[in-house]
């Protein structure tokens, strides 16, 4: 720094010296640990049991069972959406600069990610206006819904876009004139497209301006239309496609009979009303093992009291048995990017049997065990938010004594009593098996701004948290007793995040 300030010219290094420095100090990044910075999208492959997380910096990370991790950097703009081509180790990535990328997990020699192709620059303006994507089950066609209401079809085999919309806005406007009695004029943006769970020829389209359309792909015509009194945010099928659900901008959701010819809602509810509520941004309905519907939604809280909260609610109601009714509002400190469930479909397909709920947030990921009655969260074997409280010092302990390590694990188990004891639900990928009992253990200790010292197992790639020492417990002075008897109990909030 001083040399530049004094204005002295630096002698040029010769090539041999630079080569020697590169050999002596040739540091290479092996892997990334912890939670990725600035996540923007998540996807799940239900056959390969893998999750993929994309970031605003163009990075993609793929995770499976503990110690299985892949990464790829597109070196481009923000990743908007990721979709797995289920079961074939390929994924589609939509970036904010208007490109679709096709990536493949290649394990012929070494497991890595290959970039297969990128969409043509000419269709960039269409892709930049994408609102929602729907991959059809044939893995050959991707439906693209735009902000202006048009829907396009992208051929994955040829990796090309049909520049004429397969469902243009003009067609929907004609349907509105014929069926909606002047209640709306323009459908608005395409909020959701979902394929029927059994009949591949049918899709459900949710348009912003209160319109839901049941569409037949082979005939390219509508079967039925539905109008709701509030703007549509999201739609989903459930109960083998016999029903569907919608959520809306006023914090309400509606349950519909898909066979009903009339525009009649079976159930409509504002869970946290009657006062004005924030938009319910996404909804998913699953049929549990006992046959009860589980309604999962984000948002929808009372606007005046909780507009700054970030929540995902799980609601299971049984009108014949109150003991089976459960309702939890999972409360997070940072914003919600997306959520989905990991299911174990029954043999006859009548039960989704959701096993786990995965919630991606801006600063962490949370997984909820839906099998255990109390709906506890899983302890994370990876993707831990190391900087939940800023790290101010670290130390590395190599080849930790085995006896000490076992005692630390046993002592730390008390901290995980409230967590699920079920097996981690993401089980994909193949790793080289190691005899863990004889393997040397390595620990990373991090000191944090909140006075805690955290012990991380860095023996392998996963880096799970094994113990958290709260030093503040040893320095506390007497605090006034906080009377929580008048604490608000509705909605039924439960804080499950590590960032406060």
Taking the C-alpha atoms of residue 238 and residue 344, their distance in angstroms, rounded to an integer, is 15
How many CB atoms are located within 10 Å of the residue 390 CB? 10
Taking the C-alpha atoms of residue 110 and residue 34, their distance in angstroms, rounded to an integer, is 23
Cross-strand partners of 396: 444
pLDDT in tens, 305-351: 999 999 999 999 876 677 778 999 999 999 999 999 999 998 888 89
Reduce the DSSP state of residue 58 to 3 states and report it: coil
Nearest to 161 by CA among 99, 86, 247, 246: 99
The pLDDT score that the predictor gives to residue 63 is: 95
Nearest to 358 by CA among 330, 386, 324: 330
The pLDDT score that the predictor gives to residue 488 is: 56
How many CB atoms are located within 10 Å of the residue 268 CB? 15
Q: Which residues of 152-191 are buried (b: 16+ CB within 10 A; e: fewer)?
A: bbbebeebebeeebbbebebbbebbeebbeeeeeebbbbb
pLDDT in tens, 191-226: 999 999 999 999 999 999 999 999 999 999 999 999
Residue with tokens 């990464």: 71
CA dihedral sign, ordered 379, 382, 388, 394: positive
Cross-strand partners of 52: 43, 62
Nearest to 424 by CA among 384, 373, 467: 384
Nearest to 494 by CA among 421, 418, 412, 425: 418
The pLDDT score that the predictor gives to residue 297 is: 99
Beta strands in 136-201 (DSSP E): 141-146, 151-155, 160-161, 190-195
Nearest to 233 by CA among 217, 214, 215, 254: 254
SS3 content of the chain, % helix, strand, coil (to 5): 10, 40, 45
What count of Cα atoms within 13 Å lies in the side-chain half-sphere of residue 249? 11
| Alpha-helical segments (H) within 141-204 | 169-179
Nearest to 397 by CA among 462, 439, 445, 437: 445
Kindly state the DSSP code that residue 363 receives in the 8-state scheme. Answer: S
**Which stretches of the chain drop beneath a pLDDT of 70?**
1-13, 21-30, 108-111, 181-182, 319-320, 433-438, 476-488, 500
Taking the C-alpha atoms of residue 459 and residue 443, their distance in angstroms, rounded to an integer, is 7
Kindly state the DSSP code that residue 473 receives in the 8-state scheme. Answer: G
Query: Is residue 224 within 8 Å of 185, Cβ to Cβ?
Result: no
Nearest to 278 by CA among 323, 336, 225: 336
Reduce the DSSP state of residue 20 to 3 states and report it: helix
Torsion of CA 167, 168, 173, 174, to 10 degrees: -70
| Alpha-helical segments (H) within 88-239 | 124-128, 169-179
What structural domains does the chain harbor? 39-369 (2.130.10.10), 391-473 (no CATH)
How many CB atoms are located within 10 Å of the residue 359 CB? 25
């Amino acid at each position: 720094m001083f040399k530049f300030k004094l204005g002295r010219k630096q002698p040029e290094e010769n090539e041999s010296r630079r080569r020697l420095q590169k050999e002596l100090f040739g540091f290479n990044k092996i892997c990334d640990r912890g939670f990725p910075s600035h996540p923007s999208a998540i996807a799940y492959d239900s056959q390969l049991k893998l999750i993929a997380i994309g970031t605003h910096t163009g990075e993609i990370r793929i995770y499976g069972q503990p110690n299985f991790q892949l990464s790829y950097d597109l070196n481009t703009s923000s990743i908007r959406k990721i979709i797995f081509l289920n079961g074939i180790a390929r994924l589609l990535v939509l970036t904010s600069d208007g490109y679709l990328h096709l990536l493949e997990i290649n394990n012929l020699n070494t497991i890595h990610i290959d970039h297969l192709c990128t969409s043509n620059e000419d269709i960039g303006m269409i892709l930049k206006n994408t609102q929602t994507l729907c991959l059809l089950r044939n893995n050959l066609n991707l439906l693209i819904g735009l902000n202006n209401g048009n829907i396009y079809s992208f051929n994955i085999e040829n990796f090309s876009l049909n520049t004429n919309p397969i469902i243009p806005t003009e067609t929907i406007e004609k349907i509105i004139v014929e069926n909606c009695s002047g209640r709306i004029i323009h459908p608005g943006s395409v909020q959701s497209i979902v394929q029927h769970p059994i009949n591949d020829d049918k899709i459900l389209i949710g348009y912003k301006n209160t319109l839901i359309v049941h569409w037949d792909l082979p005939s390219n015509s509508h079967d039925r239309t539905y109008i709701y009194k509030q703007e549509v945010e999201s739609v989903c099928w459930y109960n083998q496609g016999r029903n569907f659900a919608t959520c809306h901008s006023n914090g309400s959701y509606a349950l519909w009979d898909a066979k009903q010819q009339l525009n009649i809602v079976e159930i409509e509810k504002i869970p946290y009303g009657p006062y004005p509520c924030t938009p319910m941004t996404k909804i998913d309905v699953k049929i549990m093992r006992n046959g009860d519907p589980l309604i999962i939604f984000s948002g929808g809280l009372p606007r005046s009291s909780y507009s700054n909260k970030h929540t995902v609610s799980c609601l299971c109601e049984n009108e014949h048995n109150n003991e089976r009714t459960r309702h939890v509002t999972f409360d997070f400190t940072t914003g919600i990017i997306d959520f989905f469930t990991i299911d174990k479909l029954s043999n006859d397909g009548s039960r989704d049997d959701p096993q786990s709920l995965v919630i991606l947030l801006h600063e962490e990921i949370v997984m909820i065990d839906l099998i255990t009655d109390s709906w506890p969260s899983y302890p994370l074997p990876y993707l831990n938010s190391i900087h939940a409280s800023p790290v101010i010092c670290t130390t590395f302990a190599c080849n930790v004594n085995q006896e000490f390590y076992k005692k630390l694990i046993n002592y730390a188990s008390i901290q995980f009593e409230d967590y699920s004891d079920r097996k981690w639900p993401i089980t994909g990928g193949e790793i080289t098996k190691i005899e863990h009992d004889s393997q040397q253990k390595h620990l990373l200790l991090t000191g944090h701004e909140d006075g805690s010292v955290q012990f991380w197992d860095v023996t392998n790639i996963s880096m799970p948290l094994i113990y958290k020492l709260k030093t503040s417990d040893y320095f506390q002075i007497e605090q006034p007793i906080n009377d929580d008897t008048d604490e608000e109990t509705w909605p039924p909030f439960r804080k499950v995040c590590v960032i406060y």
